[in-house]
Amino acid sequence: MALSIDLSGRVALVTGGTSQLGRAMVRTLAAGGADLAVHYHQNQEGALRLCAEVEAMGRRSLAVQADVGVLQSVMEMQAAIQGGLGDPGIVVTNAVSQIAWNTVLEADLASYEDQFRTCVLQNVHLAKAFIPAMVRNGSGRYVGINTECTMQLKPNQSAYAAAKRGMDGILRVLAREVGEHQITVNQVAPGWTISDRDREQGTERNEGYEATVPLKRRGTDQEIANVVAFLASDLASFITGAYVPVCGGNVMPTV
């Protein structure tokens, strides 16, 4: 029996859809048949370009703006998506703000607050906005984009890693709370991934990092998007509460 990822008839939301990894996720979910709500914070032009790509594939699309760290903004986004495309059965929380990494002693408190808002509170807000419809429909796929840094905990990562570990706690609890409604909640944890920016700048290789990876290379944005699409599909219907590293074995959860 041939296996395929078929997302036809489903509506997917990708937060941070215009980001380096987000673009690959949007394109891949659309290629699987899903209609796409492409979230952006400031990059409206990029979101509209992505929507045009999605529509060229024969799918419906909608560019939606929100500050994912503010509940009211997320609820306004939810209303816009519901009115324009219908309730998403697939939600991918990929947005995260960029900060300067620094040591615990040197990092400013605003960095921790910023990362908390866009990692932990984003997922609280998105769950409150979109899980109720999944409960009513008796199915849903919620995929949070985490990071290998959550397990690495290297110097200068404290604000980012702490927020992503908080996100991990929220989503594991959420998986237990909504599982009875056939809603799965999983996380994809990329390593240092090759994206369009690297291809444009010729920075795909980093021998120091590659040496630490069992597969001896960096992954690609498409490889991350492939796992997101799998977890969003019926092929992953009995997987929930998982943290899935997509980093060539650079981190390995243990039992």
Among candidate residues 112, 160, 209, 243, the one labeled active-site is 160
Q: Rounded to the nearest 5°, which phi and psi values hold at 202? A: 70, 30
Of 69, 77, 134, give the one whose Cα is nearest residue 95.
69
- For the chain, what is the HEC assignment? CCCCCCCCCCEEEECCCCCHHHHHHHHHHHHCCCEEEEEECCCHHHHHHHHHHHHHCCCCEEEEECCCCCHHHHHHHHHHHHHHCCCCCEEEECCCCCCCCCCCCCCCHHHHHHHHHHHHHHHHHHHHHHHHHHHHHCCEEEEEECCCHHHHCCCCCHHHHHHHHHHHHHHHHHHHHHHHHCEEEEEEEECCCECHHHHHHCCCCCHHHHHHCCCCCCCEHHHHHHHHHHHHCHHHCCCCCCEEEECCCCCCCCC
**Integer Rg of the chain from CA:** 17
Catalytic residue check, 160: yes
Rounded to whole angstroms, the Cα distance separating 233 from 9 reads 12
Residues acting as catalytic residues = 160
